[in-house]
Amino acid sequence: MKKLSKHLRQEQLQQLLENDPFITDETLSHEFNVSIQTIRLDRLELNIPELRERIKNVAVKSHDEIRTLSMDDIIGEVIDIELDHMALSILDIKKEHVFSRNNIARGHYLFAQANSLCVALINDEFALTVSSSIHFQKPVMLGDRVVTKAVLIEKKDKRAKIEVFSTVNQSQVFYGEFEMYHNNKGA
């Protein structure tokens, strides 16, 4: 891959991080075929904070909005939520999440991240999963960061339909359709 000029690289870097603030410096260095230090210097020049700070900045919204669960009951870290609209969480895959033989993440952690995000998304005191249809599309490995987005499709008659997409490095690894029960009749 031909190296880009500094100006062009920084433009593309800024665009990539606006679209996905959870990309690591390591992934960016591979993407642009430059050293991690070059990426850090580019971020510094562009006033783009490191990954931890970017995550905190995205999570500025108060988690007090979540009515159905406490933050401790959610698998992954909720970083953005608009009740009855969409929610976003991240889960860093650690040793306790994988099979010891092959370092592949256990599926129930991906399901739990998606399911708890669906419950948190509902603007109600009470929500339960009625049914789900899930598809694991690619293996998730030790060290991967899973970014999961839940989007409310429909909410009526004490039922809500939610689509969930999970990605690792912008590649989809999980898809689910969830039907949730809730107390409120409002949309």
pLDDT per position as a tens digit, 100-117:
999 999 999 999 999 999
Give all domains of the chain, ordered by start, each with its CATH number.
4-60 (1.10.10.10), 65-181 (3.10.129.10)
pLDDT at 55: 67
User: Which residues are within 8 A (CB) of 61 and not within 5 positions of it... i.e. 6 or more apart?
Assistant: 80, 81
Per the confidence metrics, is the pTM higher than 0.85? no
pLDDT of 186 higher than 50? no
Q: How far apart are CA 83 and CA 157, in angstroms?
A: 17
What's the pLDDT band for 19 if we cut at 50, 70, 90?
Answer: confident
pLDDT of 62 higher than 50? no
pLDDT of 58 higher than 70? no
Q: How far apart are CA 109 and CA 68, in angstroms?
A: 20
